[in-house]
Amino acid sequence: MQLTTHSMVTDLSDWKDQRTFTQDHPQFERSQISYLMRQRFVNGLEDFDVVRKVGRKLYIHERRFSIWLDHLGMQQTSFGKPKAEAVSDHG
């Protein structure tokens, strides 16, 4: 399969460095994104292939970040409340 120049440019435009990502999405602070990227092996960003390291710089894939964020919300909904059997009367 041969990629066209247009599809390659579209794919490349999804990758943003931290500064550009936070400029395009001001609801996230740069320090917050930096922390998430440093913790990518723990928080699941690596599992969703959201972060790529090129040289010394880390890049974020916008669409995959959005999918990861949606998934994170689903986890909190299903795991956020303690189940009745997990709550103990002993303290």
pLDDT in tens, 37-70: 999 999 999 999 999 999 999 999 999 999 999 9
Please give the pLDDT value at position 72: 85
Confidence of residue 9 (pLDDT cuts 50, 70, 90): low
Tell whether pTM > 0.85: no
Please give the pLDDT value at position 5: 57
- CA-to-CA dists, residue 29 to 7, 19, 45, 51, 85, angstroms: 30, 9, 17, 17, 38
* Contact of 65 with 50, CB cutoff 8 Å: yes
Please give the pLDDT value at position 26: 96
Give the span between the Cα atoms of 3 and 21, in whole angstroms: 26
* Backbone φ and ψ of 84, nearest 5°: -55, -40
Tokens of 43: 């928080």
* Contact of 1 with 7, CB cutoff 8 Å: no
